[in-house]
Structure 1
Protein backbone atom coordinates (compact mmCIF):
# COMPACT_ATOMS: atom_id res chain seq x y z
CA UNK A 1 0.00 0.00 0.00
CA UNK A 2 1.71 3.22 -1.16
CA UNK A 3 0.24 5.29 1.67
CA UNK A 4 1.59 3.14 4.52
CA UNK A 5 4.61 5.23 5.50
CA UNK A 6 2.90 8.61 5.09
CA UNK A 7 -0.01 7.39 7.23
CA UNK A 8 2.41 6.27 9.94
CA UNK A 9 3.83 9.80 10.03
CA UNK A 10 0.36 11.34 10.00
CA UNK A 11 -1.07 9.27 12.86
CA UNK A 12 2.13 9.75 14.87
CA UNK A 13 1.77 13.51 14.85
CA UNK A 14 -1.92 14.39 14.45
CA UNK A 15 -3.12 14.02 18.07
CA UNK A 16 -0.13 15.93 19.45
CA UNK A 17 -0.54 18.60 16.79
CA UNK A 18 -4.20 19.18 17.62
CA UNK A 19 -3.51 19.12 21.36
CA UNK A 20 -0.83 21.79 20.86
CA UNK A 21 -3.57 24.40 20.50
CA UNK A 22 -5.11 23.60 23.90
CA UNK A 23 -5.12 26.78 25.99
CA UNK A 24 -3.48 24.95 28.89
CA UNK A 25 -0.58 23.85 26.69
CA UNK A 26 -0.16 26.41 23.87
CA UNK A 27 2.65 24.45 22.29
CA UNK A 28 1.57 25.98 18.98
CA UNK A 29 3.40 29.15 20.02
CA UNK A 30 6.63 27.13 19.97
CA UNK A 31 6.22 25.59 16.51
CA UNK A 32 8.90 27.80 14.96
CA UNK A 33 11.41 27.05 17.70
CA UNK A 34 10.62 23.35 17.47
CA UNK A 35 11.23 23.37 13.71
CA UNK A 36 14.58 25.06 14.22
CA UNK A 37 15.71 22.69 16.96
CA UNK A 38 14.51 19.58 15.13
CA UNK A 39 16.26 20.69 11.94
CA UNK A 40 19.56 21.06 13.82
CA UNK A 41 19.21 17.46 15.00
CA UNK A 42 17.79 16.15 11.74
CA UNK A 43 20.74 17.27 9.60
CA UNK A 44 23.37 14.82 10.96
CA UNK A 45 20.82 12.01 11.30
CA UNK A 46 19.67 12.49 7.69
CA UNK A 47 23.29 12.44 6.52
CA UNK A 48 23.70 9.20 8.49
CA UNK A 49 20.51 7.86 6.88
CA UNK A 50 21.59 8.77 3.35
CA UNK A 51 25.02 7.19 3.88
CA UNK A 52 23.65 3.94 5.31
CA UNK A 53 21.07 3.69 2.54
CA UNK A 54 23.74 4.20 -0.13
CA UNK A 55 25.90 1.49 1.49
CA UNK A 56 23.02 -0.97 1.78
CA UNK A 57 23.08 -1.06 5.57
CA UNK A 58 19.35 -0.55 5.29
CA UNK A 59 16.96 0.13 2.44
CA UNK A 60 13.30 1.01 1.86
CA UNK A 61 10.53 -0.86 0.11
CA UNK A 62 9.11 1.90 -2.07
CA UNK A 63 5.87 -0.04 -2.51
CA UNK A 64 4.89 1.38 0.88
CA UNK A 65 5.73 4.97 -0.07
CA UNK A 66 4.43 7.63 -2.42
CA UNK A 67 7.45 7.00 -4.64
CA UNK A 68 9.18 10.35 -4.27
CA UNK A 69 12.81 10.19 -3.12
CA UNK A 70 15.44 12.80 -2.25
CA UNK A 71 19.08 11.70 -1.94
CA UNK A 72 17.90 8.10 -2.00
CA UNK A 73 15.43 8.54 0.88
CA UNK A 74 11.64 8.44 0.48
CA UNK A 75 10.02 11.78 1.23
CA UNK A 76 8.29 10.04 4.14
CA UNK A 77 11.68 9.31 5.68
CA UNK A 78 12.53 13.02 5.61
CA UNK A 79 9.22 13.78 7.31
CA UNK A 80 9.97 11.08 9.89
CA UNK A 81 12.73 13.32 11.33
CA UNK A 82 10.12 15.96 12.13
CA UNK A 83 6.98 13.96 12.92
CA UNK A 84 8.56 11.60 15.46
CA UNK A 85 10.52 14.35 17.27
CA UNK A 86 7.39 16.51 17.35
CA UNK A 87 5.43 13.81 19.17
CA UNK A 88 8.36 13.14 21.50
CA UNK A 89 9.17 16.76 22.37
CA UNK A 90 5.47 17.57 22.80
CA UNK A 91 5.05 14.65 25.21
CA UNK A 92 8.12 15.68 27.20
CA UNK A 93 6.94 19.30 27.28
CA UNK A 94 3.49 18.31 28.61
CA UNK A 95 4.74 15.84 31.22
CA UNK A 96 7.26 18.37 32.53
CA UNK A 97 4.63 21.10 32.51
CA UNK A 98 1.91 19.22 34.39
CA UNK A 99 3.87 16.81 36.58
CA UNK A 100 6.82 17.15 38.89
CA UNK A 101 9.58 14.97 37.43
CA UNK A 102 12.50 16.54 39.26
CA UNK A 103 12.34 13.90 41.96
CA UNK A 104 14.21 11.49 39.67
CA UNK A 105 17.05 13.89 38.83
CA UNK A 106 19.22 12.02 41.32
CA UNK A 107 19.28 9.08 38.90
CA UNK A 108 21.27 11.00 36.29
CA UNK A 109 24.64 9.53 37.30
CA UNK A 110 23.30 5.98 37.47
CA UNK A 111 21.63 6.20 34.07
CA UNK A 112 24.62 7.76 32.33
CA UNK A 113 27.28 5.49 33.80
CA UNK A 114 25.23 2.32 33.31
CA UNK A 115 24.37 3.21 29.73
CA UNK A 116 27.93 4.18 28.83
CA UNK A 117 29.35 0.94 30.27
CA UNK A 118 26.83 -1.30 28.50
CA UNK A 119 27.19 0.56 25.21
CA UNK A 120 30.98 0.54 25.42
CA UNK A 121 31.03 -3.23 25.89
CA UNK A 122 28.64 -3.71 22.96
CA UNK A 123 30.73 -1.42 20.77
CA UNK A 124 33.96 -3.23 21.60
CA UNK A 125 32.49 -6.69 21.07
CA UNK A 126 30.67 -5.89 17.85
CA UNK A 127 32.77 -3.11 16.32
CA UNK A 128 32.62 -4.79 12.90
CA UNK A 129 28.86 -4.21 12.68
CA UNK A 130 28.54 -0.67 11.44
CA UNK A 131 24.98 0.07 12.60
CA UNK A 132 25.76 -1.22 16.08
CA UNK A 133 29.07 0.63 16.31
CA UNK A 134 27.87 4.00 15.05
CA UNK A 135 24.75 3.87 17.23
CA UNK A 136 26.91 3.12 20.27
CA UNK A 137 29.39 5.91 19.50
CA UNK A 138 26.69 8.55 18.89
CA UNK A 139 24.75 7.62 22.03
CA UNK A 140 27.82 7.58 24.26
CA UNK A 141 28.90 10.96 22.87
CA UNK A 142 25.39 12.36 23.43
CA UNK A 143 25.20 11.17 27.03
CA UNK A 144 28.73 12.31 27.90
CA UNK A 145 28.23 15.70 26.26
CA UNK A 146 24.96 16.35 28.09
CA UNK A 147 26.13 15.03 31.44
CA UNK A 148 29.79 16.00 31.71
CA UNK A 149 30.23 18.98 29.40
CA UNK A 150 27.02 21.00 29.43
CA UNK A 151 25.96 19.38 32.74
CA UNK A 152 22.22 19.04 32.17
CA UNK A 153 20.19 17.76 35.07
CA UNK A 154 17.21 16.44 33.10
CA UNK A 155 18.66 13.24 31.61
CA UNK A 156 16.73 11.05 34.06
CA UNK A 157 13.53 12.96 33.29
CA UNK A 158 14.06 12.55 29.57
CA UNK A 159 14.88 8.87 30.01
CA UNK A 160 11.65 8.36 31.94
CA UNK A 161 9.63 10.09 29.20
CA UNK A 162 11.38 7.93 26.60
CA UNK A 163 10.12 4.86 28.49
CA UNK A 164 6.62 6.37 28.52
CA UNK A 165 6.91 6.72 24.74
CA UNK A 166 7.87 3.06 24.26
CA UNK A 167 4.36 1.85 23.29
CA UNK A 168 4.37 4.40 20.48
CA UNK A 169 7.91 3.40 19.55
CA UNK A 170 6.88 -0.25 19.24
CA UNK A 171 3.80 0.67 17.22
CA UNK A 172 5.62 2.91 14.74
CA UNK A 173 8.89 1.03 14.40
CA UNK A 174 7.08 -2.29 14.55
CA UNK A 175 5.07 -1.49 11.44
CA UNK A 176 8.11 -0.03 9.67
CA UNK A 177 10.08 -3.22 10.33
CA UNK A 178 7.33 -5.61 9.27
CA UNK A 179 4.82 -6.04 12.09
CA UNK A 180 1.20 -6.27 10.88
CA UNK A 181 2.18 -5.84 7.22
CA UNK A 182 3.34 -8.46 4.66
CA UNK A 183 6.94 -7.21 4.49
CA UNK A 184 9.07 -4.47 6.11
CA UNK A 185 9.09 -0.88 4.97
CA UNK A 186 12.68 -0.67 6.25
CA UNK A 187 14.98 -3.63 5.65
CA UNK A 188 18.36 -4.23 7.34
CA UNK A 189 21.51 -5.96 6.18
CA UNK A 190 21.99 -8.78 8.74
CA UNK A 191 25.78 -8.31 8.61
CA UNK A 192 25.56 -4.74 9.90
CA UNK A 193 23.61 -5.11 13.16
CA UNK A 194 23.45 -7.48 16.11
CA UNK A 195 20.44 -9.39 14.87
CA UNK A 196 18.72 -8.99 18.24
CA UNK A 197 15.16 -7.86 17.62
CA UNK A 198 12.36 -6.72 19.89
CA UNK A 199 9.59 -8.32 17.90
CA UNK A 200 10.59 -7.13 14.44
CA UNK A 201 12.57 -4.09 15.66
CA UNK A 202 16.40 -4.20 15.80
CA UNK A 203 17.54 -3.32 19.31
CA UNK A 204 19.81 -0.67 17.78
CA UNK A 205 16.71 1.27 16.73
CA UNK A 206 15.80 1.88 20.38
CA UNK A 207 19.29 3.17 21.17
CA UNK A 208 19.36 5.27 17.98
CA UNK A 209 15.98 6.73 18.96
CA UNK A 210 17.19 7.48 22.48
CA UNK A 211 20.14 9.58 21.29
CA UNK A 212 17.94 11.39 18.77
CA UNK A 213 15.35 12.05 21.48
CA UNK A 214 17.91 13.44 23.94
CA UNK A 215 19.38 15.76 21.32
CA UNK A 216 15.95 17.03 20.30
CA UNK A 217 15.14 17.82 23.94
CA UNK A 218 18.50 19.52 24.42
CA UNK A 219 18.23 21.84 21.41
CA UNK A 220 14.54 22.55 22.03
CA UNK A 221 15.30 23.58 25.61
CA UNK A 222 18.28 25.62 24.50
CA UNK A 223 16.36 27.51 21.81
CA UNK A 224 13.35 28.13 24.04
CA UNK A 225 15.75 29.20 26.83
CA UNK A 226 14.32 26.48 29.07
CA UNK A 227 17.73 25.32 30.21
CA UNK A 228 16.51 23.33 33.20
Structure 2
Protein backbone atom coordinates (compact mmCIF):
# COMPACT_ATOMS: atom_id res chain seq x y z
CA UNK A 1 0.00 0.00 0.00
CA UNK A 2 1.38 3.42 -0.95
CA UNK A 3 1.26 6.49 1.28
CA UNK A 4 -1.65 8.88 0.82
CA UNK A 5 0.57 11.79 -0.24
CA UNK A 6 2.13 9.58 -2.91
CA UNK A 7 -1.24 8.49 -4.29
CA UNK A 8 -2.33 12.14 -4.39
CA UNK A 9 0.84 13.15 -6.23
CA UNK A 10 0.52 10.36 -8.82
CA UNK A 11 -3.08 11.43 -9.46
CA UNK A 12 -2.04 15.10 -9.76
CA UNK A 13 0.56 14.18 -12.39
CA UNK A 14 -2.30 13.17 -14.72
CA UNK A 15 -0.05 10.41 -16.08
CA UNK A 16 -1.67 7.04 -16.82
CA UNK A 17 -0.34 3.83 -15.34
CA UNK A 18 2.61 2.73 -17.52
CA UNK A 19 2.08 -0.32 -19.71
CA UNK A 20 5.57 -0.65 -21.21
CA UNK A 21 8.93 -0.56 -19.44
CA UNK A 22 11.30 1.17 -19.40
CA UNK A 23 8.77 3.98 -19.46
CA UNK A 24 9.03 6.68 -22.12
CA UNK A 25 8.21 9.46 -19.70
CA UNK A 26 9.44 12.26 -21.94
CA UNK A 27 6.67 11.94 -24.54
CA UNK A 28 4.01 11.57 -21.86
CA UNK A 29 4.86 14.61 -19.76
CA UNK A 30 5.13 16.93 -22.75
CA UNK A 31 1.68 15.88 -23.91
CA UNK A 32 -0.18 15.47 -20.60
CA UNK A 33 1.54 17.94 -18.28
CA UNK A 34 2.33 20.59 -20.86
CA UNK A 35 5.97 20.85 -19.84
CA UNK A 36 8.84 21.82 -22.11
CA UNK A 37 11.94 19.63 -22.09
CA UNK A 38 15.34 21.19 -22.72
CA UNK A 39 18.43 18.97 -23.02
CA UNK A 40 21.85 20.62 -22.81
CA UNK A 41 25.30 19.00 -22.82
CA UNK A 42 27.25 19.56 -19.60
CA UNK A 43 24.26 21.25 -17.96
CA UNK A 44 25.13 23.98 -15.46
CA UNK A 45 23.24 26.53 -13.41
CA UNK A 46 24.69 29.21 -15.70
CA UNK A 47 23.27 27.55 -18.83
CA UNK A 48 19.82 27.45 -17.20
CA UNK A 49 20.13 31.12 -16.23
CA UNK A 50 21.24 32.08 -19.75
CA UNK A 51 18.36 30.13 -21.34
CA UNK A 52 15.91 32.03 -19.17
CA UNK A 53 17.57 35.39 -19.82
CA UNK A 54 17.32 34.86 -23.59
CA UNK A 55 13.56 34.60 -23.05
CA UNK A 56 13.48 37.72 -20.87
CA UNK A 57 13.20 35.91 -17.55
CA UNK A 58 15.92 37.31 -15.33
CA UNK A 59 15.90 35.06 -12.31
CA UNK A 60 18.67 33.92 -9.97
CA UNK A 61 19.25 30.21 -10.49
CA UNK A 62 22.11 29.47 -8.08
CA UNK A 63 24.55 31.34 -5.87
CA UNK A 64 27.54 29.85 -7.68
CA UNK A 65 27.97 28.13 -11.03
CA UNK A 66 27.86 24.34 -10.81
CA UNK A 67 27.07 21.22 -12.80
CA UNK A 68 23.53 19.87 -12.67
CA UNK A 69 21.83 16.59 -13.43
CA UNK A 70 18.62 18.52 -14.06
CA UNK A 71 16.58 21.57 -13.17
CA UNK A 72 12.90 22.51 -12.95
CA UNK A 73 11.69 26.04 -13.68
CA UNK A 74 7.96 26.45 -13.04
CA UNK A 75 5.59 29.37 -13.51
CA UNK A 76 1.80 29.71 -13.75
CA UNK A 77 1.18 25.97 -13.62
CA UNK A 78 3.66 25.15 -16.40
CA UNK A 79 7.29 24.13 -16.34
CA UNK A 80 10.53 23.85 -18.27
CA UNK A 81 12.57 20.80 -17.30
CA UNK A 82 16.28 20.78 -18.07
CA UNK A 83 18.37 17.61 -18.53
CA UNK A 84 22.04 16.93 -19.14
CA UNK A 85 22.14 15.30 -22.58
CA UNK A 86 25.59 13.81 -21.92
CA UNK A 87 24.26 11.59 -19.12
CA UNK A 88 23.29 8.00 -19.87
CA UNK A 89 19.71 7.33 -20.96
CA UNK A 90 18.94 5.65 -17.63
CA UNK A 91 20.34 8.65 -15.73
CA UNK A 92 18.31 11.07 -17.86
CA UNK A 93 15.19 8.96 -17.32
CA UNK A 94 15.49 9.21 -13.55
CA UNK A 95 16.43 12.90 -13.65
CA UNK A 96 13.34 13.64 -15.71
CA UNK A 97 11.12 11.70 -13.29
CA UNK A 98 12.71 13.55 -10.36
CA UNK A 99 12.07 16.95 -11.95
CA UNK A 100 8.50 15.98 -12.84
CA UNK A 101 8.09 15.01 -9.19
CA UNK A 102 9.28 18.45 -8.06
CA UNK A 103 6.87 20.09 -10.50
CA UNK A 104 3.95 18.11 -9.09
CA UNK A 105 4.88 18.26 -5.40
CA UNK A 106 6.31 21.77 -5.16
CA UNK A 107 4.27 23.64 -7.76
CA UNK A 108 1.07 22.00 -8.97
CA UNK A 109 -0.18 20.67 -5.64
CA UNK A 110 0.52 23.86 -3.63
CA UNK A 111 -1.27 25.89 -6.32
CA UNK A 112 -4.23 23.52 -6.10
CA UNK A 113 -4.32 23.87 -2.31
CA UNK A 114 -4.09 27.66 -2.56
CA UNK A 115 -6.95 27.84 -5.03
CA UNK A 116 -9.07 25.58 -2.83
CA UNK A 117 -8.43 27.78 0.22
CA UNK A 118 -8.58 31.28 -1.32
CA UNK A 119 -10.54 30.67 -4.52
CA UNK A 120 -9.79 32.10 -7.94
CA UNK A 121 -8.96 35.49 -6.41
CA UNK A 122 -5.53 34.14 -5.42
CA UNK A 123 -4.51 33.16 -8.97
CA UNK A 124 -3.11 36.63 -9.88
CA UNK A 125 -0.98 36.44 -6.71
CA UNK A 126 0.32 32.98 -7.67
CA UNK A 127 1.10 34.31 -11.15
CA UNK A 128 2.66 37.44 -9.61
CA UNK A 129 0.40 39.87 -11.47
CA UNK A 130 -0.81 41.42 -8.21
CA UNK A 131 0.51 41.65 -4.65
CA UNK A 132 -1.13 39.68 -1.83
CA UNK A 133 -3.48 41.50 0.51
CA UNK A 134 -2.56 41.80 4.21
CA UNK A 135 -5.24 39.21 5.04
CA UNK A 136 -3.77 36.76 2.54
CA UNK A 137 -0.28 37.29 3.96
CA UNK A 138 -1.54 36.55 7.47
CA UNK A 139 -3.08 33.24 6.45
CA UNK A 140 -1.23 30.20 7.77
CA UNK A 141 -1.47 28.72 4.26
CA UNK A 142 0.29 31.59 2.55
CA UNK A 143 3.89 30.64 3.35
CA UNK A 144 3.37 27.31 1.54
CA UNK A 145 2.31 28.91 -1.74
CA UNK A 146 4.77 29.17 -4.65
CA UNK A 147 4.60 32.66 -6.16
CA UNK A 148 6.11 33.70 -9.48
CA UNK A 149 8.99 31.68 -10.90
CA UNK A 150 10.21 28.58 -9.04
CA UNK A 151 13.61 26.98 -9.61
CA UNK A 152 14.55 23.52 -8.28
CA UNK A 153 17.98 22.10 -8.96
CA UNK A 154 19.07 18.46 -9.05
CA UNK A 155 22.69 18.97 -8.12
CA UNK A 156 25.77 16.83 -8.48
CA UNK A 157 29.09 16.67 -6.68
CA UNK A 158 30.33 18.11 -3.38
CA UNK A 159 29.41 21.69 -4.29
CA UNK A 160 25.76 20.68 -4.50
CA UNK A 161 25.54 19.35 -0.95
CA UNK A 162 22.15 19.55 0.73
CA UNK A 163 22.27 22.15 3.48
CA UNK A 164 19.02 21.71 5.40
CA UNK A 165 16.65 19.00 6.60
CA UNK A 166 13.81 20.76 4.75
CA UNK A 167 15.63 20.44 1.42
CA UNK A 168 16.59 16.84 2.22
CA UNK A 169 12.94 16.00 2.93
CA UNK A 170 11.88 17.64 -0.35
CA UNK A 171 14.51 15.70 -2.32
CA UNK A 172 13.54 12.39 -0.73
CA UNK A 173 9.88 12.93 -1.56
CA UNK A 174 10.81 13.81 -5.15
CA UNK A 175 12.91 10.65 -5.38
CA UNK A 176 10.06 8.54 -3.98
CA UNK A 177 7.58 9.91 -6.51
CA UNK A 178 10.13 9.50 -9.30
CA UNK A 179 10.49 5.81 -8.45
CA UNK A 180 6.72 5.39 -8.39
CA UNK A 181 6.35 6.99 -11.82
CA UNK A 182 9.06 4.83 -13.39
CA UNK A 183 8.55 1.60 -11.45
CA UNK A 184 5.19 1.41 -9.61
CA UNK A 185 5.78 -0.15 -6.21
CA UNK A 186 3.35 -3.05 -6.74
CA UNK A 187 5.23 -4.13 -9.87
CA UNK A 188 8.60 -3.39 -8.31
CA UNK A 189 7.76 -5.58 -5.31
CA UNK A 190 6.80 -8.40 -7.66
CA UNK A 191 10.10 -7.95 -9.49
CA UNK A 192 12.06 -8.12 -6.25
CA UNK A 193 10.26 -11.25 -5.15
CA UNK A 194 12.32 -13.13 -2.57
CA UNK A 195 15.62 -12.32 -4.22
CA UNK A 196 18.59 -11.05 -2.20
CA UNK A 197 18.84 -7.25 -2.22
CA UNK A 198 21.66 -6.96 -4.76
CA UNK A 199 20.07 -9.44 -7.17
CA UNK A 200 16.73 -7.71 -6.80
CA UNK A 201 18.31 -4.35 -7.57
CA UNK A 202 19.75 -5.75 -10.80
CA UNK A 203 16.30 -7.00 -11.79
CA UNK A 204 14.76 -3.58 -11.06
CA UNK A 205 17.44 -1.84 -13.10
CA UNK A 206 16.95 -4.16 -16.08
CA UNK A 207 13.14 -4.08 -16.12
CA UNK A 208 12.51 -0.41 -15.39
CA UNK A 209 15.57 1.28 -16.90
CA UNK A 210 17.01 2.56 -13.62
CA UNK A 211 20.66 3.18 -12.97
CA UNK A 212 22.18 0.56 -10.69
CA UNK A 213 22.59 3.03 -7.84
CA UNK A 214 18.96 4.19 -8.14
CA UNK A 215 17.72 0.58 -8.35
CA UNK A 216 19.70 -0.35 -5.25
CA UNK A 217 18.25 2.58 -3.31
CA UNK A 218 14.71 1.71 -4.42
CA UNK A 219 15.21 -1.96 -3.52
CA UNK A 220 16.36 -0.96 -0.03
CA UNK A 221 13.36 1.33 0.32
CA UNK A 222 10.88 -1.37 -0.70
CA UNK A 223 12.50 -4.07 1.42
CA UNK A 224 12.42 -1.78 4.43
CA UNK A 225 8.62 -1.59 4.17
CA UNK A 226 8.44 -5.39 4.21
CA UNK A 227 10.25 -5.74 7.52
CA UNK A 228 8.03 -6.10 10.58
CA UNK A 229 7.90 -3.02 12.82
CA UNK A 230 10.14 -2.99 15.88
CA UNK A 231 8.49 -4.17 19.08
CA UNK A 232 6.79 -1.37 20.98
CA UNK A 233 5.24 -1.89 24.40
CA UNK A 234 3.19 1.30 23.94
CA UNK A 235 1.80 -0.01 20.64
CA UNK A 236 0.98 -3.39 22.19
CA UNK A 237 -0.90 -1.68 25.03
CA UNK A 238 -2.69 0.65 22.64
CA UNK A 239 -0.87 3.81 23.68
CA UNK A 240 1.03 4.47 20.45
CA UNK A 241 -1.05 6.70 18.16
CA UNK A 242 1.62 7.67 15.66
What is the TM-score of this pair, normalised by structure 2?
0.29
Higher relative contact order (CA 8 A, sep 6+): 1
Give the structure with the higher percent strand: 2
Give the structure with the higher percent helix: 1
- Structure showing greater Rg: 2
What is the TM-score of this pair, normalised by structure 1?
0.30
